[in-house]
Amino acid sequence: MTSTAAALDADLAAILDARLKARAARTAFELFEGADQARIDAIVRAMARAGTDAAEELARLAVDETGYGVFEDKIVKNLYNTRVVADALLSMRTVGVLWVDEGARTTAVGCPVGVVAGIIPVTNPTSTVLFKILASVKAGNAIVCAPHPRAARCCTRAAQVLAQAAERAGAPPGLISCLDQPTLSATRELMTHDAVTMILATGGADMVRACYSAGKPTIAVGAGNVPCFVHRSVPDITEAAVMVVTSKAFDNGTACVAEQAVVIDEPVADAYEAALEAAGCAWVDPSHHPALSALLFTERGGLRPEAVGQSAVELARRAGLSVPPSTRVLGIRLDSVGRHAPLSAEILGPVLKVHRVADADEGWRVCREILAFGGEGHTLALHASDPDVIARFSALPASRILVNTPALFGGMGYSTGIDPSFVLGTGTWSGSIASDNITALHLINIKRVAHEVRPWRGALELAERRELAAR
């Protein structure tokens, strides 16, 4: 058999796998449809416990297979979903009567959407699988995960752990599955299959566009070029620097919600840069910017996969730079944003851009430019105590305005009151239908049982009333 024929056979097998799993998910959903909240919650609890027990195993598989991130940090991401997110999901009502408005004589009734296609990124594979399965089943749905090809094994194992726990707790077989051979053709087949109801996608720009063109209701999130403004009213300069470095260095910068650039108000710039250094930031001399840019980006401006999710020390080594072994992030001082400054784009690694500005006016402008360069609708971080500054920056086009907290932990809802989630909506600014942190409530249909509250015949008299008013 020629290599071309073998590749074709493998692709056809992958497409068949997608079809079979989509059909099996539809069959399982039809058996599961009508499950009450107590039954659903028992299954979610069982999955959360199993995911917690497997958090370390899944983190090791993810790092070993993808080569991205930090083992210990991936454990935290897994546990965040099986503990914090799961607890938040369990507090929600998703099926049956959700709420009753006695005054409006209206009752809201939740019902599942059906079968969800969960598109999984390579940067956060197992943690995203855990989230999407927990949220989908909490909503009463079936789900088939389609991982990035470079994360197929770890994602399959994560789905297997939760599927086995769900079935032991009473879920029908096939309710939860993962593509074994996630080729592009297989993922496309899954997204367009008649058995699939909606798509919940996380990935790069090309994958997000493919999801929106699949002809299904889609919630898709992608890049986030997150700016962080440090105002002269910053409550604690040292703490603000520790927050940013910790957030950006976490899991080697693979979270799109982490800070990409810090915009510093001039009166506190020297002190803040010193605090960044103390927290583990090593500055890259401008003469080395071209080498770092060539390491991180292709000639067309895309991120090089081999440079994603590496440590600051490893990136420095590859770029021919010398930094202390304790370095957590590489600091790059920039004075402009846009295609002419490639390092100002989103970098999925521990590289922090720094801009110094004269005042809040210039800071607002630079943050707006950063958001416009690939981050519109995602997230803005802000360190300030001046309420007028906070109000002004809240007008920028970002779905999450995070005040005096790390963007990573605040954005995903751990250190803030935002809904805990691992899928962060970016709103119509970036072509998404949702600007919320996505939860199970985004994966259900809500029916309204409504009783008459005013005589219906009054509607027929509206034109007559208009004529009388005109006289």
Co-location of 231 and 328 in the same domain: yes
The DSSP bridge partners found for residue 341 are: 338
In a domain, residue 456? The reply is: no
Task: Give the count of alpha carbons within 13 A of 261, CB side only.
Answer: 32
In a domain, residue 107? The reply is: yes
Q: Which of 187, 203, 372, 412 is nearest to 303 (CA)?
A: 203
Whether residue 116 is predicted with pLDDT greater than 90 in this model: the reply is yes
In a domain, residue 471? The reply is: no
In a domain, residue 3? The reply is: no
Q: Which of 402, 355, 409 is nearest to 379 (CA)?
A: 402
Q: Which of 159, 169, 178, 162 is nearest to 47 (CA)?
A: 162
Co-location of 186 and 255 in the same domain: no
Q: Distance (Å, rounded) from C-alpha 204 to C-alpha 182?
A: 16
118-158 tens-digit pLDDT: 999 999 999 999 999 999 999 999 999 999 999 999 999 99
What six digits make up the tokens of 470?
Answer: 């005109």
Residues whose CB falls within 8 Å of the CB of residue 84, separated by 6 or more in sequence, listed in order: 413, 414, 420
Q: Distance (Å, rounded) from C-alpha 449 to C-alpha 456?
A: 17
Co-location of 209 and 308 in the same domain: no
What six digits make up the tokens of 33?
Answer: 């449809």
Residue pair 450/105 in contact (Cβ under 8 Å)? The answer is yes
The predicted pLDDT at position 142 comes to: 99
Co-location of 15 and 100 in the same domain: yes
Co-location of 326 and 295 in the same domain: yes
Domain count, the chain: 2
Whether residue 6 is predicted with pLDDT greater than 80 in this model: the reply is no
How far from 121 is each of 150, 186, 315, CA to CA, in Å?
9, 15, 22
The DSSP bridge partners found for residue 377 are: 398
How far from 130 is each of 93, 142, 395, CA to CA, in Å?
20, 14, 34
Range of the domain at 49: 11-222+435-449
Co-location of 205 and 308 in the same domain: no
Place of tokens 């803005």: 380
Co-location of 276 and 218 in the same domain: no
Co-location of 92 and 179 in the same domain: yes
In a domain, residue 5? The reply is: no
Name the pTM for this structure.
0.95
Q: What is the CATH number of the domain that holds 236?
A: 3.40.309.10
Q: What is the CATH number of the domain that holds 42?
A: 3.40.605.10
Q: What sign for the dihedral angle of Cα 226, 407, 347, 156?
A: negative
Q: How confident is the model at residue 470 (pLDDT cuts 50, 70, 90)?
A: low
361-408 tens-digit pLDDT: 999 999 999 999 999 999 999 999 999 999 999 999 999 999 999 999
Residue pair 415/402 in contact (Cβ under 8 Å)? The answer is no
The predicted pLDDT at position 205 comes to: 76
Query: Helix (H, G, I), strand (E, B), or coil: what is residue 54?
Result: coil
34-84 tens-digit pLDDT: 999 999 999 999 999 999 999 999 999 999 999 999 999 999 999 999 999
User: What residue type is assigned to position 425 of the chain?
Assistant: G
Whether residue 98 is predicted with pLDDT greater than 80 in this model: the reply is yes
Q: Which of 339, 319, 341, 342 is nearest to 330 (CA)?
A: 319
Whether residue 3 is predicted with pLDDT greater than 70 in this model: the reply is no
Helix (H) or strand (E) holding 263: strand 259-265
In a domain, residue 429? The reply is: no
Give the mean pLDDT of the chain.
95
In a domain, residue 465? The reply is: no
Q: Distance (Å, rounded) from C-alpha 229 to C-alpha 152?
A: 38
Q: Distance (Å, rounded) from C-alpha 446 to C-alpha 94?
A: 9
Residue pair 360/339 in contact (Cβ under 8 Å)? The answer is no
Q: Distance (Å, rounded) from C-alpha 221 to C-alpha 346?
A: 14
405-452 tens-digit pLDDT: 999 999 999 999 999 999 999 999 988 889 999 999 999 999 999 999
Residues whose CB falls within 8 Å of the CB of residue 401, separated by 6 or more in sequence, listed in order: 379, 380, 382, 390, 393, 394
Whether residue 5 is predicted with pLDDT greater than 60 in this model: the reply is no
How far from 363 is each of 264, 306, 324, 374, 389, CA to CA, in Å?
7, 33, 31, 18, 11
Work out the end-to-end distance of the chain between its first and last CA atoms, rounded to an integer number of angstroms: 87
Q: How confident is the model at residue 210 (pLDDT cuts 50, 70, 90)?
A: confident
In a domain, residue 251? The reply is: yes
DSSP 193: -
316-359 tens-digit pLDDT: 999 999 999 999 999 999 999 999 999 999 999 999 999 999 99
Q: What sign for the dihedral angle of Cα 106, 108, 109, 113?
A: positive
Which residues are designated catalytic? 256
Co-location of 315 and 184 in the same domain: no
Q: Which of 273, 220, 291, 236 is nearest to 405 (CA)?
A: 236
Co-location of 396 and 413 in the same domain: yes
Q: What sign for the dihedral angle of Cα 55, 56, 61, 62?
A: positive
Task: Give the count of alpha carbons within 13 A of 413, CB side only.
Answer: 23
250-303 tens-digit pLDDT: 999 999 999 999 999 999 999 999 999 999 999 999 999 999 999 999 988 899
CB atoms within 10 A of CB 448: 10
